[in-house]
Amino acid sequence: MPSTTRVNSVIEIERAGDVALIRIDNPPVNAAGRDVRQGIEDAINALAGDDSIKAIGLYGAGRTFVAGADIREFGKPPLAPSLPDVCNTIERCGKPVVAVLHGTALGGGLELAMASHARIGLTGLRVGLPEVLLGILPGAGGTQRAPRLVGIPFALDMITTGRHLPAAEALEHGLIDQLKDGDPRDVALASAKAVVAGNLKTRRTDEIAVEPNDAALEAAKAKIAKKTPHLFSPVKCVEAVAASVTPIDEGLATERHLYIQCHDSPQRAGLIHAFFAERAVAKVPEAKATPRPVQKIGVIGGGTMGSGITTSALLAGFDVTMIEVAAEALERGTGTVRKNLEGAVKRGKLAEAKHAETVARLGASTDMTDLADADLVIEAVFENMEVKKEIFTKLDGIVKDGTILASNTSYLNINEIAACTKRPQDVLGLHFFSPAHVMRLLEIVVADKTAPEVVATGFALAKRMKKVGVRAGVCDGFIGNRILSHYLRVTNYMVMDGATPEQIDDALEGFGFAMGPFRVSDLAGLDIGWAERKRLAPLRPAAERVIEIGDRICENGWFGRKTGRGYYVYDEGDAHPNPEVANIIASERAKAGVTPRDFTDQEIVDRYMTAMISEAARVVDDGIALRPVDVDAVFLFGYGFPRFRGGPLAYADTIGAAELIKRIEAYAKEDSHYWQVPDLLRRMAADGSTFAQLNEGK
């Protein structure tokens, strides 16, 4: 008769004849926190000294094997036993240990498995060493044992990309020994018995020799230097893998030393903040409401945004009807969607076999009444309040009761749009970012009367579309574009005062942005900002410093990449600064009587980031964003903010409120209208608090 003994709150041993099973039960993802580590260590030691036991099976309860170390413990004082020690205990155990993996075996989870003496994967398993994505390296022997099992080239691929491998690939490369179907506990029992019967071979990973491969190491270093020049941990990953050709104790010591360097780097803190930010934003007051069922979606507008939204919805399995005013525009819009879907197949985002079925879910019409039975309608026409109001009034009379009406507006007032319907409780903003089938951010804009279940439906939609939904309040530009409008002004001020657009772009790319602000504006189209400036001109306070360089550029018909010319000139893939822009800048400076001065790259970054943080602080204080982390997520997933810096307000904590105020007050000597100290920063400086504390509700 099998008997079970509890080792601690998360680990149990089951004895069945001459084999024993160790069960890990630490929901939701069996993260290897202190109790898991201590429990496994104690269980292995107990079983190693038990003469009746000949083999041990290790498996996880619930939806997954171990999904990694407990990320919440990072940055806190270490708690013994460490994961490397537990892995060593398993590897050195005199009894064979077979790990049975289901769900995911990631990071420390895969390291526990690699230290075991055989690995069985269950159907659907995904494995990987994603530590690099958190700014660290697989520090529980992963950099030493992976090369022993799969060779240096494949280990480098796994460790430097952090990608998740499907079970078949893990089997093909020898990371797992067998792939089976079944329940983890039953397979663990059968596998342990198979070991005893001599039907399943086991071996110690540390006894496998690694074949040196300097070429692969050099190639990995070159790839990292090109693709992620700002990141610290990928380089350390390669250095650690290089040490795998030495005896394992030496290699493990090198790995530990490099791991500590990564762990202590600010990039680790930033990347882990980003990991939790992605999950924290779903925790909103409306999360408990039940989302309305959505299957049929209407999208009004077949332009870039409408086509992108339609593509994203089709990829998520919805039935979508696109509406355009004229047949020709509709044909263009659906053509773009079809092209996007073909691209999705090429990029591996859509299985070839599912392509026809996905295209078949696309409907098209020039008649809005075809949306009568839609569950959700997303309006994505150009930014004009009158046009939007007309559409919403019409839709209100067409769609069934309970249909949710959403606007993809980037700036306009959702309350005003909702007010022209008889169902303001069913109206919200769903602000996608271009290209909508690629960018992960979705701002879910909650108007005064939006019902909680409508907000919950927005979040459910984001999840199904694999997007990061962030709750935003109503104001001009919501979270992202409101902050963007503010800090873009500082780039113009710096250009007027002496910097060049390319110097600003280069400085910010050096800080880690994927693209500088002028390159982004050229890509998005300079006419967009121009229209926005014209819209806001009548509302502009008299004290505001106005720079017209951008207007002069647009007056020439230079709207950026799409016209071949903007801040840069685009010649067959090559981009260089537009010489005419330098003339425009010189003439605008002369007109305003400005004598240009030099800017250092550091000053550019400081001014840009201080402007961004200032408006972000106001957005939090005004309740437009629920917490600082919501602002961080918006910038990480919608604006190419360097992930390793965690987001604008996580970065602000590394500077501190007092220092930020000092900077703002110094800049205010030049322009006291633009540079004003946000009240929130003043309060934070007074009580020494941080944005991180605000995230925790402190």
**57, 60, 68, 121: residue in contact with ligand CAA (rule CB under 6 A):** 68
Q: Which of 10, 13, 19, 29 binds ligand CAA (CB under 6 A)?
A: 29
Q: Hey, which bits of 131-215 come out as E strands?
A: 165-166, 178-180
Largest CA distance in the chain: 93
Concatenating the DSSP letter of every residue in 505-567 gives: HHHHHHHT-SS-HHHHHHHH-HHHHHHHHHHHGGG--TT-----HHHHHHHTT--BGGGTBSS
CB of 179 to ligand CAA, least distance (A): 19
Residue of the chain from 60, 139, 480, 516 that contacts ligand CAA (CB under 6 A): 139
Full 3-state SS string of 555-624: HCCCCEHHHCECCEEEECCEEEECHHHHHHHHHHHHHHCCCCCCCCHHHHHHHHHHHHHHHHHHHHHCCC
Phi first, then psi: what are they for 400, rounded to 5°? -70, 170
Span 163-182, contacts to ligand CAA by CB under 6 A: none
Q: Is 647 exposed, middle or buried (0-12, 13-18, 19+ CB in 10 A)?
A: buried
683 binds ligand CAA (CB under 6 A): no
Q: Tell me the number of residues near ligand CAA by CB under 6 A.
A: 23
User: Any contact of residue 697 with ligand CAA (CB under 6 A)?
Assistant: no
Stretch that binds ligand CAA, among 129-137, 261-269, 411-419, 643-651 (CB under 6 A): 129-137
Annotated active-site residue 383? The verdict is no
- Residue 160 contacts ligand CAA per CB under 6 A: no
Contacts of 588 (CB under 8 A, 6+ apart): 496, 547, 548, 549, 552
Residues sharing a CB contact under 8 Å with residue 269, sequence separation 6 or more, in sequence order: 75, 135, 646, 650
Closer of 56 and 629 to ligand CAA (Cβ): 629
Task: Give the interface segment with ligand CAA, choosing from 99-107, 417-425, 591-599, 647-655 (CB under 6 A).
Answer: 99-107
Radius of gyration (Cα) for the chain, nearest Å?
A: 28
Least distance in angstroms from the C-beta of 79 to ligand CAA: 13
Q: Is the peptide bond before 452 cis (omega within 30 degrees of 0)?
A: no
Q: Which stretch binds ligand CAA (CB under 6 A): 138-146, 480-488, 576-584, 668-676?
A: 138-146
Stretch that binds ligand CAA, among 26-34, 228-236, 377-385, 688-696 (CB under 6 A): 26-34
Residue window 73-92: x/- pattern of binding to ligand CAA, with contact defined by CB under 6 A: ----------x---------
**Which stretch in 136-144, 250-258, 402-410, 688-696 sits in contact with ligand CAA by CB under 6 A?**
136-144
Which residues in 276-315 contact ligand CAA (CB under 6 A)? 279
Q: What is the spatial order of strands in the sheet that 104-106 belongs to?
A: 104-106, 126-128, 165-166
* Shortest CB 467 distance to ligand CAA, Å: 13
**Pairing of the two strands 178-180 and 118-122:** parallel
Q: Does residue number 203 form part of the binding site for ligand CAA (CB under 6 A)?
A: no
Contact segment (CB under 6 A) with ligand CAA among 130-138, 222-230, 328-336, 459-467 equals: 130-138
Determine if 96 is a binding residue for ligand CAA (CB under 6 A): no
Q: How far is the CB of 633 from ligand CAA (least distance, A)?
A: 13
User: In what helix (H) or strand (E) does residue 379 lie, and over which residues does it extend?
Assistant: strand 376-379
Among 55, 58, 120, 134, indicate the residue that binds ligand CAA (CB under 6 A): 134
DSSP 69: B
DSSP 32: B
169 is catalytic: no
Q: Which of 111, 255, 532, 630 is close enough to bind ligand CAA by CB under 6 A?
A: 111
C-alpha span between 271 and 273 (Å, rounded): 5
Question: Does residue number 480 form part of the binding site for ligand CAA (CB under 6 A)?
Answer: no
Contact status: 630 vs ligand CAA (CB under 6 A): no
Task: Name the one range near ligand CAA by CB under 6 A: 62-70, 167-175, 178-186, 300-308.
Answer: 62-70
Site residues (CB under 6 A) for ligand CAA, limited to 313-372: none
CA 689 to each of CA 59, 439, 625: distance values in angstroms, whole numbers, following the listed order: 43, 33, 18
Among 130, 301, 473, 560, binds ligand CAA (CB under 6 A): 130
Contacts of 132 (CB under 8 A, 6+ apart): 159, 160, 161, 162, 233, 234, 237
Residue 76: CB minimum distance to ligand CAA, A: 12
Q: Which of 1, 3, 28, 572 binds ligand CAA (CB under 6 A)?
A: 28
Shortest Å, Cβ 690 to ligand CAA: 21
> Contact between 140 and ligand CAA (CB under 6 A)?
yes
| Burial group, residue 151, by CB count within 10 angstroms (0-12, 13-18, 19+) | middle
- The nearest distance, CB 116 to ligand CAA, in angstroms, is 15
Cα separation of the two ends of the chain: 52
Asked if residues 524 and 560 have their Cβ atoms less than 8 Å apart, the reply is: yes
- Token pair 């790990």 is at which residue? 99
Which one is catalytic: 14, 41, 91, 111? 111
Q: Which of 60, 96, 107, 512 binds ligand CAA (CB under 6 A)?
A: 107
Please pick, among 12, 14, 91, 131, the residue that the annotation labels catalytic: 131
Tally of CA atoms within 13 A in the half-sphere of 579 that contains its CB: 0
Rounded-to-integer distance, Cα 642 and Cα 562, Å: 26
Which residues contact ligand CAA by CB under 6 A? 28-29, 31, 67-72, 83, 104, 106-108, 111, 130-131, 134, 138-140, 142, 279
- Residues recognised as catalytic: 111, 131
